Amino acid sequence: MADHSGTVTRRTAMKAGLATALAAAPLARPAIAASKKVVRVLVVADPFYYALREVTGQFEAETGITVELENLAYDALQARLVSSSIARKPDADVVTVDQMWTGQYLDSNWIMPLDAMMKGDKDLDLADFIPEVLYSLNTWRGHFATLPIASYGQGVMYRKDAFAAQKLTMPDPASFTWDAYLDLIKKLDGATVGGKKLFGTVVAGSQPQPIVHMYTQLAASMGVHWFKEFPEGKWDFTPTINTPENVAALTMYEQLYKLSPPEAINFNWFEAGMRFAHGDIGMFYWWTPYFYLTQRDGYMTGKPSPVGDQIGFATLPHDPKHPQVISAGGWSLGIPSYAPNQDNAWQFIKWATSAKGQKAMALVDKFGHQFSDFGRASLYDDADLQKLYPYLPLQLALLKQSNGKIVRPPAPVYTTLEGIYGLNLNRVLAGNSSPSVALSATSDLFDNVLKGNYLLPYQLPSYDDTLDATKKLIASMA
């Protein structure tokens, strides 16, 4: 999730994928002389940044380490991280890594594994982290690559006043299927509430990243995987994109778009979320940061949303034929392998992802309370925080059902595949392709890219990447 639209060019994406395929550097930590006073931190401009910048003074007072904090938009951050990593000239000591980049960055030796720093560090309290979050965002091939600064699930937001006006009720979780979700949206579409005519829902249609982030949640919940076998078992990257389940999911997403504002075909993450906050959308599903962002009219303005006091929250719909899979995403902090201030970087990561640091971020009230994306279970039970963010029990339940490695798999050349997927999804919304034709084309292009990068057939070592493996890794770090 990001606050501004940004499209990584296909040329940049292909370079990133090629770099991953060719890289074979070991996961060794280089010996680098470090400064004792400074840590340079480069992050994406997601909501956590605005909270983090207000509390870095606490870290500086506790440690004597000065924080130089810089933020970039999504696409600019990725391009800068890739170029500096390939050149082995990192311009930061701490960087934010998106969930899907983890495997590429660690395999390419662009970031260093954190295992040695974490092992036996009693201040870390690793057992407090939600295992599903660490599995989805932070582990790769039995190593810790990063730690979570902002952990996102996906859930439903709806207008309680619109439901009341249309005499609708939210189904209980057991009967809340995607068909029931679509039926509710159809009943909300065209209703007039508070003097405004409603669209039933809103989707993110901008490609490649925003539409992939929203669509893959629906698809995964309906039983869709990207590959024949990954991340568990013996890896086989044969594409499984062109399946009846995915055709059904894309057909439903096309229906959701037809019940959205027409301009949603160009909406990025933030534009989709904030359209709901503007008051003419009945219900939608999206990343959990929008549980609080939609309570404000604009990004970090502090101005109350016209529907802020009418927002209800619910779990995601499910498909009765398949186990529920909820998308896990968000941002994590890692250390570039050639960063000059690695010890200072670890101190910062440990503090920023600690219960103390995360609660301090949650209490920042400069724009209204605008951070509840915790990776630690204890914070969801915190009475002070539950008063500010009453949906925390639901958010925790969503994260405990999450599996980011299925929904958006951190496989090699992910960025290239995402570009292909997003383009073809957008073509369906634009009316330029049918779901079956778009998915057939996507599968063919996936096949070409994977073969061209020597991933199909896959002949390198696999790693049976399960949640249980991450739990064992957590226990080994204690």
Crossing angle of helices 178-188 and 244-258, rounded to 10°: 20
Average pLDDT over residues 160-189: 97
Q: Which amino acid is at 314?
A: A
The answer to whether 103 touches 410, Cβ cutoff 8 Å, is yes
Tens of pLDDT, residues 204-251: 999 999 999 999 999 999 999 999 999 999 999 999 999 999 999 999
User: Average pLDDT of 111-117?
Assistant: 96
Does position 14 have pLDDT exceeding 90, yes or no? no
Give SS3 for 440: helix
Mean pLDDT of the chain: 92
How far, in whole angstroms, is CA 259 from its chain's centroid? 25
pLDDT in tens, 16-41: 333 333 333 334 444 444 446 999 99
Domain 10-151+330-407 has CATH 3.40.190.10: yes
Whether 154-314 and 10-151+330-407 are alike in CATH topology: the answer is yes
CATH class of 154-314: alpha beta
Least confident residue range of 118-127, 248-257, 359-368, 460-469: 118-127
pLDDT for residue 9 is more than 50: no
Statement: residue 259 has pLDDT above 80: yes
- The CB-based long-range contact list for 49-52 (8 Å cut-off, 24+ gap) reads 50/300, 50/364, 50/366, 50/367, 50/370, 50/371, 51/361, 51/362, 51/364, 51/370, 51/371, 52/149, 52/352, 52/361
If we measure between CA atoms, which residue out of 135, 140, 71, 144 comes closest to residue 414? 140
Supply the pTM of this predicted model.
0.91
Query: Looking at per-residue confidence, does 461 or 88 come out higher?
Result: 461
List the domain boundaries for the chain: 10-151+330-407, 154-314
Average pLDDT over residues 303-310: 94
pLDDT category of residue 165 using cuts at 50, 70 and 90: very high
Decide if pLDDT at 86 tops 90: no
Q: Is the separation of the CB atoms in 239 and 227 below 8 Å?
A: yes
